[in-house]
Structure 1
């Protein structure tokens, strides 16, 4: 429905003279829509959808000059220009127009590339996670070994030169260590 209305709008737009605005063209397109036999004098009720689609390049009205343009290569630079206006390159023409959405095949290829990149990223993360786990296990074992050495030094410390307060703290610490190791 919207593409049929768009065809009517584009026809009215290309036939309309200078000095009119878009609202005039839209009113005339609505009038022609209602005169079409297949529409049976019913108004076009999807104008809100058409307004969104009208911003896309596919639905944009095209001038007569634009439809007849062909590309040809210019000099050694290898850039293309339109045959109707050799001074203006296609690059400048592309900057003025909206970009069209990618096609179905290109979207599928893009999706497959994303899937491959996702798989590669997942493998990399899994590998890094495995290396991190090994590293943390090694560090944890080093810390445990260091703590055992410190606890052994506390248990074997010479207490002859300690004051009464230091001795009481040392005995309490030794009891805690013995309880931890089940001694």
Structure 2
């Protein structure tokens, strides 16, 4: 409750004193945050200063003072969102959201084809790198059999590359 004649600054000073008494020497560390959030709707009074929660206005006969609207809560926002999408008002044709299914399917196929092409290029590039490493391998420490196998494989790689360049 606000004492008679007290302004916002008086109420804050009194609250800080009560906090200090309750918590000992510990100072309230969130005054800077309060300065930011105090004007947000969720921190505003739900009723005018002289109105009670039951709707009666103390000291006025007409009760014409403005009532501040309470911000919508999380559950109510979810419910409102679900209601918006559950109504059939947004369906414009007999097929609803599947009206452009052929277009969507064709777009999907095109994207898939492009990504497959990129993957194929990537796989080919990896294979070229592996073959290059084989071609450049140091053969000084190989046995005669290993060297013969290596040369045969290198010739096979060279033949495939030549055929690829021709086509």
TM-score, structure 2 normalization: 0.41
Higher relative contact order (CA 8 A, sep 6+): 1
Structure-1-length-normalised TM-score: 0.38
